[in-house]
Structure 1
Amino acid sequence: MDQREFLADEFEKHRVHLKAVAYRMLGSLSEAEDAVQEAWLRLNRSDADGIDNLGGWLTTVVGRLCLDILRSRTARREEPLEERLPDPIIGPASGVDPEHEALMADSVGLALLVVLESLTPAERLAFVLHDTFAIPFEDIAPIVGRSPAAARQLASRARRRVRGAAPDPERDRARQREVVDAFQAAARGGDFQALLAVLAPDVVLRADLGIRGRKVVRGAEAVAGQALLFRRVGGESRPALVNGTAGMIGSINGRTTSVLSFVIVDGRVSAIDILADPDRLADLDLSVLD
């Protein structure tokens, strides 16, 4: 085995981890894949013999690449960052897809990613690398160009914002599915009162409709009304895991029309995120559900 083949084999051992890092940083599957591929290209151009910890070196490279992407995205973005709905990762409702499980380990679903969109690029990197992947602040500091103490402060600020905005969700998938199924049954049956019973009073629904814009609906009565409105569209739905939590895939005549992710807190739906952008839906890999 020559040096290039050895490096390729070693890189593949880290690929899923690197993609998980990049996805949490960017909320975009395509950009995450691009960052991982660029890390491989940079590894090929480097003196690999001088790298003592390949996994740490690659994580640092991916972190720098993601930070650059986030800063560029922030500079050119006109709408608030928190309006962007991240790309969902779809898995079978059984939760047995290995790559899905690896990518979503320790995740709390789209709800956390939505909150992360509101952080500064440096805050997001410090929080993700330290709190999710246990990277020491001494290693994070050079990436953000700060001291370890300053990197710690970045993560601390991010942590406070995340805790203040992201609810503590139900983690038992069977219980999640039970609540989601109750929501779906009430919506299909046109039962407004049953919908109110399964929705938290302060529930928020976020929908990304593509060129039709984005929509945010707050409050149980308003969200229940939207659920009944969606019911008139018709179509079918099937259960799936969306970022590691119970969700649904909507379709009409075999064409995917929406991906729904739910946050369940204290036995009720506290948030619903809907991706209904036809262009983004077309890029999703739903083969794991077949």
Structure 2
Amino acid sequence: MVTTDADVAYETQTVRTIRGMESRAVKKWETDGWELVGQNQGRVKTELTFRRPKPKSRRLLWIIGGSALALLLASVITIGTISERNAETAASAEATSAPSIEASPAPTQPSASPTMASAAPTESAAPAVAEPGSAVLTPKTNPELESIVALTDYCSPDIAAFAAAHRGETIAFPGYVGAMAPHGSAKTRYDFLIGAGDFSETSDAGPAFQFRDVNAINDLKWMGTTPDSIGVGTNLSITAKIVEYEQSSCLLLLDPVATAAR
């Protein structure tokens, strides 16, 4: 079967560059997978138009660390059964016994083998959301964030620019779990693809946020009532620090500060 342009949905991008620098700009954009389809020269600047096939839905194909991974769309994690990477052996040995010493006191730091009781938010997690004067960007208070969470192209250069300008800052927004998978060969650590807004089967606007290599209890820093399970389609309130934007995968990596079910 021959695929024609009529069968492919394209996205376009217009770039302006100083005359004489066109070849450099074309090379850069073609390296990123764009095709030059138009060129309009002005007196000082040249307008270049590029196109490329629209990315498949992030729920159909998830690029993790530069390699394609099929989404686990039916995956659900039961929060109460998750432990840290090295806790599985101890957990199975103590399944019918009383709680271990690590789990019984109210810890100031998350224990290595959390139960549902120990998954409750710790004092160290609370100030991230409630501390007065903390600079937390939200779609309502920051026009840039409001703009990028409404984008339909999660590879938009605007997302890369936002991440570079606000790296290390904290953002908060309503989101959802769009996909998840074990991190590498780990059994209790995961990569979560986070979308903006409410979960939908038909649309997925905003950046492709990602929590990478996290345990679903301690690392997500649950606030309020911890849900019994988390899976694709779970709606959340997200507070997280911007780590970086990966140009190769179009993933905007976040470090969880506080997570709440909604």
TM-score clears 0.5: no
- TM-score where L is the length of structure 2: 0.25
Bigger-Rg structure (1/2): 2
Structure with the larger strand share: 2
Greater per-residue helix proportion: 1
The normalised TM-score by structure 1 is 0.23
